[in-house]
Structure 1
Amino acid sequence: MTTVWTSNNGLAIRDLVPAADRRAWVARGHCPDRDLYSLFAEHVRRHPRRQAVVDPSGALDYRTLDLCVRRIAGRLRDAGLDHRDVVALRLPNGRDAVAAELAVAALGAVALPYPAGPGTRDTLSLLRRSRARGAVLADPADLALRHRLPDLRAVFSFGPRGPGVRSLCAPGPPLRPRPVAPEAPARILVSSGTESEPKMAAYSHNAMAGGRANYLRALKRRPGPMRNLLLVPLASSYGSCGTYVTLAALGGTLILQDSHDPATTWDTIARHRPTHLFAVPTLLRRLADHPARPGEDAGSLHALVSSCTALPETTAAACRDRFHRPLITVYGSTDGVNCHTGATGLGPGTGTGRPDPAVAAIRVLDDQDRELPPGRPGRICARGPMTPLSYVADPGLDAMWRTADGWVRTGDRGCLDDRGRLHLLGRTAEVVDRGGYSISPAQVERELGTHPAVAEVVCVPVPDADLGQRLCACVRQVPGSRPLALADLTSYLEDRRGLERRKLPELLLPVADMPLTATGKICRRTLTSLAADHHAGTGRTCR
C-alpha cells in the first residue's frame, strides 16, 4: 500500500518505495528515524558554541543559530503555517537561507528551496504546482507576484518589503518545535533537467538525514567534525548537502561565500580552514589556474569534491598539482542516484566508484528492465535510503522514471564492472543524430578532456540541412596554451585516442569562459545556441 502525505490545500505526495524497504533501512542503521530539526537540536545541546555557519557577515554558533531558527519558525506559525504546508525559499547563499530552511524543518513543514537569480518564470511554476502556502523571498520582482499565486497565504522577506510582505527581521516569540514523522516529506529538490518546467522531487527526513548524510560521512578521511565550503547554491541538488546534512544530520560547520571569484575562495580557505571543498569542475579549474600567492596554504583540506558533470582529466591533474589533496568525484542527481570515488580513489578504471547500499544501490537494466551482468551496458537504476518519495505534482514523471517497486530510472547509460564499480556511458537521451548515426557527446567530451590544452569541453548538436545535426566541440583552453584548430582536436581524437572517424566533431567553438546556470552547471542550452549562431554565420566550421 502506497503511503500518501497530503498538504493543507490538497497537494498529495506519494512514497513510491515499498514501506518494508524503508523499515529495513532504519533497522540496518542507514536512516536515523528522526526528523531533521530534532537532530539539529541535539547538536545544539551537545556543542552549542561550535561554529554552525560562516558567511561574509561572520560566524554563528549552534546556540545562536537555533535561536534565530526558532524565532523565524514562530513567525511562520503566527502567519498560520504549519506542518502540512509547503514553504518556498528563494534566497542567496548565507545565514538567512540556512536559518530559514531550518525554521521550516522546526515547523515540520516542507521546504522548497530554489536558486536565486533573475526571472520570475520558475517562481510562478514552482509555487503554483507545489501549492506553496508560504514563501521567503529576496527579489522584489518575486515579492510582486503574490496576486498571481492564489494558494500563497504568507510572504516573508529578510530585506525588501512591500504590501502584504512580512519581515523576518522583527523579533518574536520562538517556536517550541514538536517531532514530525521521519518518513514525511522534508524538502523538495528542484532540477531544470530536460523538462519544459523544473522537476520537483520530494525527500523525507530519513532520506535527507540518512542516505544523503551517509554519502557525506563516507567522504571523511579524518576524525572530527566536517567544515564544508560549498561553492554551489544551497538551493541546488548538489547544495542540499549543506543545511539539512552538514548541520542537522552531521553537526558540522557550513562555510559560504557570496562570490565565485577564485581569489575570494583562496582567502576563504586560508581564513576559515575548511576540511572539504564542494564545487563543479568549472570552478575547480578556475581555482587551480588562479595565480599562486606567497604562503598559500590549503593544508586544512582533506579532499576536493566535484559533481554535477564529468571531471576532465586535465582539470583533475591541475587540481592535484595545485592543491596536493585527493579529488573525489560524485555521480548524483535530484532524482536520487549517488555514487562516488571516496572509497575507490580517482584513477584509471575506477569509473564513478562503487555504489554504497547505505546511500543508493545501483543496478543496470536492459530495455525490458532485466538486470544485466557485469560488463554489459544498459540503463542505470538506483534505489536506497536516499531515494526520494516521488515527483511532485507530476504523475507523468513518476510513470516515466520510477519502476513499480520504487527504483529510479536515472536516464543514464552505464555498466558495472566485475569489481562492482560503476562506469558512465552518457545520457540515454543525449545523442547527436548525424544522418541516422547516433553520436554520444559524453564519449567525445571524455576523450577531448584528456587533451593537455583543453581545460573544459562540451559537445553540442548544431542543426544541419544535409545531415540533420553535426557535432560541435565548445572548448575553453588552458590559459597560455597555443590556440587549437579543429584539425588539432580531430587528429588527437583519431590518432591518439582511437575514436572512430564518424564520431569526430565537425565544428569548433572556442569560448573564453563556459556559461553557467544558476546552480553552477555548464549551460548546454546557451552553448547550443551560441554554436548554432556561430555556425550559421561562418559556414560549415566554427573556426
Structure 2
Amino acid sequence: MASVYPSFEDLPASIPALVLEAAERHGPRAALEHGEQRITYAELPGHMLQVTRALIAAGIGKGDRVVIWAPNCVEWVVLALGLQAAGAVLVPLNTRMKGAEAADIVARSGARLAFVQGSFLGTDYPAMLDQYRPATLERMVVIGTAPSQPGDQELQQFLAGAGQVPLEQALASARSIAPTDLSDLLFTSGTTGKSKGVMCAHGPSLRAFNEYVRIIGLVPGDRYLVVNPFFHSFGYKAGWLTCLLGGATILPQPVFDADEVFRRVAEERITVLPGPPTLYLSMLDHPELGRKDLSSLRVAVTGASTIPPVLIQRIRQELGCAVVTTAYGLTECGGLATICDPADSAEVIAGTSGKPIPGTELAILDSEGKPVPVGHNGEICLRGFHLMQGYFDDPGATQDTFDAQGWLHTGDIGSLDGQGNLRITGRLKDMFIVGGFNCYPAEIEAALSEHPAIAQVAVLGVPDERMGEVGCACVVLRQGEALTAVELITWSRERMANYKVPRRVEFFEQLPTNASNKVDKLLLARQLREEESASYSV
C-alpha cells in the first residue's frame, strides 16, 4: 500500500505516538541504518524513551526548547524523538553556522540544553559555541567526544541518567503529547537580517507528510537515503519523519558527496533519493554512470531551483526513477504546500510546483489582497491546517505575516496555470538559493557591513551553472580604504556559513538608487549582466 494511514483521521496524535505505533506495524523492519548501526522499528521506542528518561532526569519537560547541532546521523533522529516524547521542542541548528550565529539562536530560543556534535569535518562545534555561550544554556551534551567544560556531558554519560526515571513515566509522557503541542522551532532567516523561530505542532506535520507519503508512493521497506540536512524541513519532515510514516528505512548521509551517494545507491539498494537538482546533475555526470547498478532507484523528489525539463527526463530514463516530482513549501507552512503529480509531463514537473495538498488553500494576490487572473503574477498566499502557530516570541512579525482573512503571505511571487499548478516566478524579498539553501540578502549585507573597509554593500543572487544561483556582493569602499575580492571572501568565510559567502564581488564608486534613495537592485542586476556580457564579447 502507498500509505500506512489512509486518512488524517487515522493518524497518531504526535510524532512519539507514531513511533510507538510504527513498532507494532513494522516490527523487524530496519528503521535506521548507517554503517554498522541498525535499529529496527521494534527497537526504536526503547532508544527514544531512553533519551526521554535522561531528559526528564535532567529536568527537561513540556515546552522546554532543546537544540540539536549535528550532521545527519542515527543519533540525531533518536535524540529528536526522545526530546519530543519528553514534551520538549526541537530546535535544529544549521551545521554550517559559526559560533556566534549558533549562539544567537540558542539564546533567543531560550534553550536550556543542547546536543552538539563533538567534531565534524575538522570543526570543533562545542568550542565554537563556548566562545559565545549564552547564560541560559545550562548543559551541553557532546556527541562522540568528551566535553571540555564542567557540567557538560558526553552523550553516553548523559544517557546513563535514564536509570533515575521509570520507563512508565517516559511512556506516559510520550502518550500525553497532543496534536496541537509544539514539535519544533525551526529558525529561518528574515529579510530584516534577524532570523525568526517558526512554531509548528505535531498534528499538522503528520497530516501534511502523510500526503507526501501517499503522492510519492512510499511503501514499507523502501530505503530512503536522506542527503538533505536534518536541520531543514526537507531532511527532517520530508526525510526521516516521512520514513516513519511510511515504514521505510532511514539512511542518513552526513555530507553531500557525489561519489559517496553514487556508491551508496548502488551498494545499499537505495529506492528513494530526494535532493536539489545539483545532486541529480552530479549523478548523471558521474563517470561510473552506466557501469553501476542503480536499478533499485524508484523515487526522486527535487525543487529549490530552476529545473530544465530535460533533467526530469534524464532522471526518469538514465537513473530509472519511475516517480519524479517537484514540490513547494516554506518553513512557515511546515515545509510542504504544493506538489506535482508524478504522472504529469516533464514540462509540468520542471516548470511548476504542482497543486496544493489536500486541506491547503492557495491564492495569488495583488498588493491590495485581491486575487489576480490565471497566468498573472502576484504574491503566493497560503491558508490551511499546517500553517505555523506563529513566530516564537515575535507577535509583531506574526501579525505582519497573516492578514485579516487568515492568509499567510509567503513573500514569494508566482502564478497559477489553467490547471491550477503553481509556477514560482520570483521572490518579493530578493531571496536566492545556493545549492538548496535559502540566502537572504539583508542578512548577508548586515554581516558584510561590519567589515571596516566597506561603506555600502548590496547583495543579490546571480545565475551559476553549477549551483543554480550564488551571491554577488556589490561593494562601495570607504574613502582611502583598499580591499580585494579574495580578501573579502576570505573574511566572510571566517564569519558566516559557507553558502552565505558571496562567490562574486564587484566594486562600485556608488550604487544605483531609486526615487526613494534605496538601492535599485533591478538596475544593479541589469548592470551586472551588461558587464558580464561585455566581458564575454572582448
Structure 1 residue 233 displacement after superposition: 0.6
Structure 1 residue 215 displacement after superposition: 2.3
Matching residue of 1:92: 71
**Equivalent residue letter for 1:345:** D
Structure 1 residue 232 displacement after superposition: 1.1
Structure 1 residue 347 displacement after superposition: 2.6
Matching residue of 1:75: 54
Give the whole-Å Cα distance in 1 for the aligned partners of 2:221 and 2:386: 22
Contact 1:35 1:205 in 2 (8 A): yes
Q: 1:315 to 1:428 in 2, by over 3 A?
A: same
Structure 1 residue 343 displacement after superposition: 4.3
Q: 1:28 to 1:366 in 2, by over 3 A?
A: farther
- Could you tell me which of 178, 192, 198 is aligned with 1:181? 178
**Equivalent residue letter for 2:283:** L
Q: 1:205 to 1:462 in 2, by over 3 A?
A: closer
Structure 1 residue 130 displacement after superposition: 1.0
Structure 1 residue 242 displacement after superposition: 5.4
Q: How does 1:84-163 map to 2 (within 5 A)?
A: 84-117=63-96, 119-139=98-118, 140-142=124-126, 145=130, 148-160=133-145, 161-162=147-148, 163=150
* Cα deviation 1:310-344 (Å, max 9, x = unaligned): 32445445434531324311222212152122345
Is residue 2:469 matched to residue 1:458?
A: yes
Structure 1 residue 458 displacement after superposition: 2.7
Superposition TM-score, scaled by structure 2 size: 0.74
Structure 1 residue 359 displacement after superposition: 5.7
Q: 1:225 to 1:364 in 2, by over 3 A?
A: farther
Give the whole-Å Cα distance in 1 for the aligned partners of 2:141 and 2:314: 44
**Equivalent residue letter for 2:287:** P
Give the whole-Å Cα distance in 2 for the aligned partners of 1:99 and 1:391: 26
Structure 1 residue 31 displacement after superposition: 8.0
Matching residue of 2:260: 264
Q: How does 1:185-196 map to 2 (within 5 A)?
A: 185-196=182-193
Q: How does 1:113-512 map to 2 (within 5 A)?
A: 113-117=92-96, 119-139=98-118, 140-142=124-126, 145=130, 148-160=133-145, 161-162=147-148, 163-170=150-157, 171=160, 172-173=162-163, 174=167, 175-178=170-173, 179-220=176-217, 223-241=219-237, 245-292=241-288, 295-313=291-309, 315-325=311-321, 326-336=323-333, 338-343=337-342, 345-349=344-348, 351-358=351-358, 360-430=360-430, 457-458=468-469, 463=474
Q: 1:456 to 1:101 in 2, by over 3 A?
A: closer
**Equivalent residue letter for 1:167:** E
What fraction of aligned residue pairs are identical, expressed as a percent? 23
Q: 1:364 to 1:33 in 2, by over 3 A?
A: farther
**Equivalent residue letter for 2:201:** S
**Equivalent residue letter for 1:190:** F
My pick for the range that moved more, 308-317 or 115-124, is 308-317
Aligned residues: 447
Q: 1:28 to 1:317 in 2, by over 3 A?
A: closer
Contact 1:190 1:236 in 2 (8 A): no
**Equivalent residue letter for 1:406:** G
* Cα deviation 1:103-159 (Å, max 9, x = unaligned): 111111111112223511222111111111221111444365398422223321222
Is residue 2:32 matched to residue 1:47?
A: no
**Equivalent residue letter for 1:363:** A
3-state DSSP class of the match of 1:323?
Answer: coil
Structure 1 residue 45 displacement after superposition: 2.2
Give the whole-Å Cα distance in 1 for the aligned partners of 2:125 and 2:431: 38
Give the whole-Å Cα distance in 1 for the aligned partners of 2:269 and 2:52: 31
Q: 1:404 to 1:240 in 2, by over 3 A?
A: farther
Give the whole-Å Cα distance in 1 for the aligned partners of 2:65 and 2:328: 29
Structure number with the higher helix fraction is 2
Unaligned runs of 5+ in 2: 119-123, 433-459, 477-492, 510-526
* Cα deviation 1:358-417 (Å, max 9, x = unaligned): 263211111111223322321101122322211122233313322234322111111112
* Cα deviation 1:425-447 (Å, max 9, x = unaligned): 11123299xxxxxxxx99x96xx
Matching residue of 1:437: none
3-state DSSP class of the match of 1:72?
Answer: helix
Structure 1 residue 251 displacement after superposition: 2.9
Contact 1:275 1:302 in 2 (8 A): yes
Contact 2:365 2:380 in 1 (8 A): yes
Give the whole-Å Cα distance in 1 for the aligned partners of 2:227 and 2:468: 21
Q: 1:259 to 1:429 in 2, by over 3 A?
A: closer
Contact 1:86 1:132 in 2 (8 A): yes
**Equivalent residue letter for 1:231:** V
Matching residue of 1:508: none
* Cα deviation 1:266-285 (Å, max 9, x = unaligned): 22112222221011112221
My pick for the range that moved more, 376-385 or 101-110, is 376-385
Give the whole-Å Cα distance in 2 for the aligned partners of 1:358 and 1:313: 26
Structure 1 residue 101 displacement after superposition: 0.4
**Equivalent residue letter for 2:153:** R
Matching residue of 2:450: none
Give the whole-Å Cα distance in 1 for the aligned partners of 2:343 and 2:412: 21
Q: 1:217 to 1:359 in 2, by over 3 A?
A: farther
Structure 1 residue 165 displacement after superposition: 0.9
Unaligned runs of 5+ in 1: 1-25, 433-440, 466-514
3-state DSSP class of the match of 2:381?
Answer: strand
Structure 1 residue 265 displacement after superposition: 0.9
Give the whole-Å Cα distance in 1 for the aligned partners of 2:132 and 2:423: 49
Give the whole-Å Cα distance in 1 for the aligned partners of 2:496 and 2:261: 18
Contact 1:228 1:254 in 2 (8 A): yes
Q: 1:525 to 1:261 in 2, by over 3 A?
A: closer
**Equivalent residue letter for 1:84:** G
Q: 1:186 to 1:78 in 2, by over 3 A?
A: same
Structure 1 residue 100 displacement after superposition: 0.5
**Equivalent residue letter for 1:526:** P
Q: 1:457 to 1:210 in 2, by over 3 A?
A: closer
Give the whole-Å Cα distance in 1 for the aligned partners of 2:23 and 2:278: 36
Q: 1:343 to 1:372 in 2, by over 3 A?
A: farther
Give the whole-Å Cα distance in 1 for the aligned partners of 2:365 and 2:199: 25
**C-alpha RMSD of the superposition:** 3.5
Give the whole-Å Cα distance in 2 for the aligned partners of 1:218 and 1:151: 43
